[in-house]
Amino acid sequence: MEIIALTLALIIILGIIFNKFFVKVGVPSVLGLLILGMILGPYGFNVISSSFLDLSADVRIIALIIILLRAGLGLQRDTLRRVGKPALTMSVIPCIIEGIAILFISQQILGITFLEAGMLGFILAAPAPAILVPEMLSFIEQKKGIKRGIPTLLMAGSGINDVVAITIFSAFFSTYLRGDVNLILQILEIPLSLILGAAGGLIIGIIVLKIFKHWKFNDSEKLLLILAFAIVFNGIGDLLQGIIPLAALVGVMLIGFILVDNNPNLGYRLSQKYSKLWLLAEILLFVMLGAQVDIELSIQAGLVGILIISLGLIARSLGVYISLMGTPINLKEKIFCMVSYMPKAIVPAAIGPLPLLAGIPSGEIILAISVLAILVTTPIGGMAIKIVGDKFLEVDLLQEEI
């Protein structure tokens, strides 16, 4: 326990220092935290204890839950109504187009099978809410892009996008391992998964509101109770995996939305508290993510990996453009939406190693390209979101994000 505590203290101290330094020199703090993780991790100086590394999966999911709750607290009913259709298309079309494009490209370039290429395609087809959401909330505070609800559109779409990517990856993965799995039927489970996840989040949100109505808690206690309920709900989703399709992460975001929709003042106060909690979560998330990055493995992927990732991002950008056709969003704002969906982080880190662990022949190259995608798109995408957003998004001082 002492080793874990000392490791945690070291990560927090160095994380805050790296965070401050990189922000001061005009570089996203995410890059500094990733570099810190690589330095401290097993592929660097191996300072992070193995006991702490064993907790990395749990740390990542808790950090993701925190940022999704914060995203939910940043959503509002009228804005969602305005961006409803494009949010739905943005959550599905770019993911599908990127995944399928990488499937066919990697088959040709790497010479791997259809199912193996499908796994790689949908590992890479998920954007990173952990990068995107804080930036979108920052733009909302600055009143940038809120006239057409762009930050809300991107936050809502990214959470569902991850669920779609993971579900389709799981379909390819299960079909490869078991053979008798119906790939098409598994993919058709996606709508049911989203509906059940949203229903679960709605129920938990209502339960939490009733608890707050009948018992008095201060805001810090409310924050912890909501976080605990969200973690339990996500755990239920994991337990039901393979039995009932449940998109728990979508439900987690909806919990935050139900709270702010029914009690805006409470929602605002909790959002402020979650933004402070996110400081610790962000440090742990990206340092642990960086600790998983094997530089040598990334180098092995080399130019071929960068080519596959780049072509996939081009296909994703086409999907974003198609999704936004017929909307009032102008060309500059569409470019911003394309850029915002660039970063890859949590999903490649979580499921990228699975093919290798399952003994799939192409597992090593799939993992190498997954790691390379994190290493390349996270810092570049994070910087691009800030730069393009500041330049292309209009400030609307006459409106609130509604």
Q: 27 in the Ramachandran plot: left (φ > 0), alpha (ψ -120 to 50) or beta?
A: beta
Q: Give pLDDT tens digits for 242-290.
A: 778 788 888 898 899 899 999 989 888 998 898 888 888 889 888 887 8
Is 365:295 a contact under the CB 8 Å cutoff? Answer: no
Mean pLDDT of 43-47: 87
Q: With a cut of 70, say whether residue 22 has pLDDT above it.
A: yes
CA angle 216/217/223 to nearest 5° reads 145
> Scanning the structure block, which residue is given the tokens 């401290």?
40
Per-residue pLDDT at 350 = 74
Q: Give pLDDT tens digits for 298-346.
A: 777 788 999 999 999 999 999 999 999 989 999 999 999 999 999 987 7
Cα–Cα distance, 399 to 150 (Å, whole number) = 13
HSE value, Cβ hemisphere, 13 Å, CA-based, for 9? 6
Q: Does 41 reside within a domain? A: no
Q: Does 278 reside within a domain? A: yes
Q: Give pLDDT tens digits for 102-130.
A: 999 999 999 999 999 999 999 999 888 87
Q: Give pLDDT tens digits for 64-99.
A: 888 889 888 887 777 777 777 888 899 899 999 999
Residue 206's identity, in one-letter code, is: I
Q: Does 20 reside within a domain? A: no
Residue 65: is it exposed, middle or buried by C-beta count within 10 angstroms (0-12/13-18/19+)? Answer: buried
Cα–Cα distance, 26 to 37 (Å, whole number) = 20
Count: domains in the chain: 1
Cα–Cα distance, 73 to 223 (Å, whole number) = 12
Per-residue pLDDT at 32 = 85
User: For residue 364, what pLDDT band results from cuts at 50, 70 and 90?
Assistant: confident
What are the structure tokens assigned to 200, written together?
């679960």
Q: Does 98 reside within a domain? A: yes
Cα–Cα distance, 279 to 291 (Å, whole number) = 18
Q: Does 34 reside within a domain? A: no
Domain that holds residue 182: 57-392
Cα–Cα distance, 258 to 369 (Å, whole number) = 38
Cα–Cα distance, 241 to 7 (Å, whole number) = 32
Mean pLDDT of 143-162: 87
Mean pLDDT of 124-146: 88
Which range among 24-28, 103-107, 379-383 has the greatest average pLDDT? Answer: 103-107
- Closest Cα to residue 193, out of 240, 245, 243? 245
User: For residue 397, what pLDDT band results from cuts at 50, 70 and 90?
Assistant: low
The model's pTM is 0.81
Q: Does 30 reside within a domain? A: no
Q: What is the CATH number of the domain that holds 265?
A: 1.20.1530.20
- Closest Cα to residue 45, out of 401, 382, 366, 291? 291
Q: Does 299 reside within a domain? A: yes
CA angle 63/388/36 to nearest 5° reads 40
User: For residue 402, what pLDDT band results from cuts at 50, 70 and 90?
Assistant: very low
Q: With a cut of 90, say whether residue 134 has pLDDT above it.
A: no
Q: With a cut of 60, say whether residue 401 has pLDDT above it.
A: no
Q: Does 92 reside within a domain? A: yes
Length of the chain: 402
Per-residue pLDDT at 180 = 62
Quote the mean pLDDT of the chain: 86
Q: With a cut of 80, say whether residue 221 has pLDDT above it.
A: yes
